[in-house]
Amino acid sequence: MFQQLMKQVTELTIDTEERLKGVIDLIFEKAISEPNFSVAYANMCRCLMGLKVPTTDKPGVTVNFRKLLLNRCQKEFEKDQDDDVIFEAKQKEMEAAKEEEKAGLKATLEEAKDKARRRSLGNIKFIGELFKLKMLTEAIMHDCIVKLLKNHDEESLECLCRLLSTIGKDLDFEKAKPRMDQYFAQMDKIIKEKKTSSRIRFMLQDVIDLRRSGWVPRRGEQGPKTIDQIHKDAEQEEQMQQIKVQQQLMGSQPQDEGWNTVPISTKNRPIDTSRLSKITKVRGEFLHEALQCVVELNSAPLLFVFVRNGLENTLERSAIARERMGLLLHQLIKAGIMPTTEYYKGLQEILEMAEDMAIDIPHIWQYLSELINPMLHEGGIPMGQLFREISKPLIPLRKAGVLLVHILNLLCKGMTHKKVGGMWTEAGLNWRDFLPEDEDVNKFVTEQKMEFTLGEKSDGTNQKKPMSGEELSKQLDRLIQDKANNQRIRDWVEANLDEQQTSANQFVRTLMTSICQSAVICENPYKVDVEQITQRAKLLQRYLSDEKKELQALYALQALMVHMEQPANLLRMFFDTLYDEDVIKEEAFYRWESSKDPAEQTGKGVALKSVTAFFTWLRDAEEESDKD
């Protein structure tokens, strides 16, 4: 049914601003008058989002569907205030009327209020569904919530409950938690004041309870169902029963939230958008699982939907969430799972709307650079190809240079300006290809401090700010957890630390701690992941350049064991591996054994006892070597 309706709409000739506004008005009126179908109407808007037509008053300038839809939403939302003024005037008119006229005027007023209330609720539900499809931004949603909370009238509070029930889960993440806490504290206050009807107080309490339960409703929202949907539900229920039987036979338990096992067809099938939503909200520790789930989708020609959803879902999240999503997309390209054409197609849809979104997301170019930057890692897309492709939709908007500057600045945080400039030159890139014809290239390069792309040095380029031990540890941990190769870690070190800093004891200890922590296998008992140490051996050798630094590394390892409460035999396993990989030499081990440094005595006795056998073996090996 939906596909047929969409086909009819797309076959219409929508080539003027007036016609586009007419289509939006039609969809909008249907959506707010039939709230049970608001999900379908929101999806229709999502499909039409890229539609553009020439503006009526400015030749050569286009206006898109999303911008006009946003204006329509705002107009309808603000209409409630105008209605209040009209109703107040009608109330006064009714009070001043004769007794025989009052009953008729009262009925008319109640009917108008009821109609306005239904429109408000329908509008709020539709706005919420549009937000869930990432057509409206979080900033707009927070603005709606604040306006509804300011008005303590029952209509506004009912709309607030409807809105939070629809979108609360999507707004309630770590970064926005303080704001959400304020909203709910205010709602709790309204309940306790008892100035509203019991119906509204119960609605507010239901939303508060919904948040406490992790936004899991006591029963799913039941909208109208077609015969086809009923058949599909029955088929899905039967399939779930089969899965449960398979899991019982395999001896595994089904999980409510997680990556459930599903039968995988060898043929392409439509992407399951509910699974897409889960995957696109990936966290760093689940990158491998997310990668596997994308493989299981087995729908290469539709992966651009995954790219688009992933970028939309993380665009306004934290910098870490954006980097993780960028890394996942990089891994998909590197593993050959996703064609670059699908990546570009999904990204293009976001880039085409970026200028409009910048109104609500002022830092959008920085956020996009954080999502795109990981693609330049080894095995991703070459800089020349990537920059030329992502600039295509932005050059007409005069924004290509802006995005590239943000990406290059981000790259310079992970490697030296000279190296980034070398990548730009090797890719054969030229700023003239990305800037408007009337823009002065030299002025742009100077103002944006991009001289390093011209093979020139700019003032202050090589100055490194001092970094605290906590920040250094955080950055190294992040690189190692992301499985960055040794060269990438060295690039980051060279870009952010000068020679004096890399020679300091603090750096040596922090690097040793980060690498050894990542090599601990958390089983009972603890074990050492020898492969991890082997992979990082050359990196450690690069910075443990003499006996003093090797000694500092051993002190760091001793402190790590104290922090872990001296796990049995773990230090011995580390010593064996570090010796075998030629990271720490005999002299440093002996010096650590005999060290009486008062600052390094915490846990030293226990540590020495745990590696007695290692030193016995080391001395025996030396004696055998001397005899030979």
pLDDT of residue 274: 47
Please report, for the chain, the start and end positions of each structural domain, with discontinuous segments joined by +. Answer: 1-213, 287-453, 469-626
- In the chain, DSSP finds a helix count (H) and a strand count (E) of 30, 4
pLDDT of residue 523: 83
Neighbour count for residue 373 (Cβ, 10 Å): 23
The predicted model scores a pTM of 0.54
pLDDT of residue 273: 46
**Is it true that 1-213 and 287-453 share their CATH fold?**
yes
Write the DSSP assignment of 421-472 as a string of letters.
Answer: HHHHHHTT--GGGTS-TTS-HHHHHHHTT-GGGGT---TTTT------HHHH
52 has which bridge partners?
64
pLDDT of residue 575: 94
Q: Cα 628 to chain center, whole Å?
A: 61
Name which of 373, 321, 324 is nearest 347 in CA terms: 373
Which segments of 213-272 does DSSP mark as H helices, in order? Answer: 227-250
521 has which bridge partners?
527
pLDDT of residue 388: 93
CB 50 within 8 A of CB 349: yes
Q: Which two tokens stand for residue 299?
A: 């729908």
pLDDT of residue 560: 93
Neighbour count for residue 332 (Cβ, 10 Å): 23
Please, what are the averages of pLDDT over each run of 10 residues along the chain (628 residues)? 73 85 88 84 83 80 81 74 68 75 79 78 83 80 84 81 88 85 92 88 91 78 54 54 40 35 35 48 53 68 82 84 89 88 89 80 91 90 93 89 94 86 90 90 88 65 71 88 85 83 91 93 89 92 91 93 91 93 92 92 92 90 69
pLDDT of residue 253: 37
CB 326 within 8 A of CB 370: yes
Torsion region of 191: left, alpha or beta (phi above 0 gives left; psi -120 to 50 gives alpha): alpha
* CA–CA distance, 575 with 592 (Å, rounded to integer): 12
* CA–CA distance, 157 with 124 (Å, rounded to integer): 11
Name which of 362, 446, 448 is nearest 406 in CA terms: 448
Output the CA torsion sign for 116, 119, 125, 126: negative
Residue 143's contacts (CB-CB under 8 Å, 6 or more residues apart) are none
Q: Which CATH number fits domain 1-213: 1.25.40.180, 1.10.540.10, 1.10.560.10, 1.25.40.10?
A: 1.25.40.180
Residue 55's contacts (CB-CB under 8 Å, 6 or more residues apart) are 17, 61, 62, 63
pLDDT of residue 297: 64
pLDDT of residue 628: 58
CATH architecture of the region 469-626? Alpha Horseshoe (1.25)
Cis amide bond preceding 525, omega within 30? yes
pLDDT of residue 268: 38
Q: Cα 63 to chain center, whole Å?
A: 29
Q: Look-up: residue for tokens 């493989």? A: 295
Q: Look-up: residue for tokens 């799972």? A: 337
CB 28 within 8 A of CB 71: no
Residue 221's contacts (CB-CB under 8 Å, 6 or more residues apart) are none
DSSP-derived pairing of the beta strands 62-64 and 527-528: unpaired
Around 401, how many Cα atoms within 13 Å sit in the side-chain half-sphere? 22
Q: What are phi and psi of 567, to 5 degrees?
A: -60, 140
Neighbour count for residue 465 (Cβ, 10 Å): 8
* CA–CA distance, 144 with 123 (Å, rounded to integer): 12
Provide the CATH number for the domain formed by 287-453 in this structure. Answer: 1.25.40.180
Name which of 176, 192, 185 is nearest 208 in CA terms: 185
Q: Which two tokens stand for residue 596?
A: 């009486």
258 has which bridge partners?
none
Q: What are phi and psi of 62, to 5 degrees?
A: -110, 160
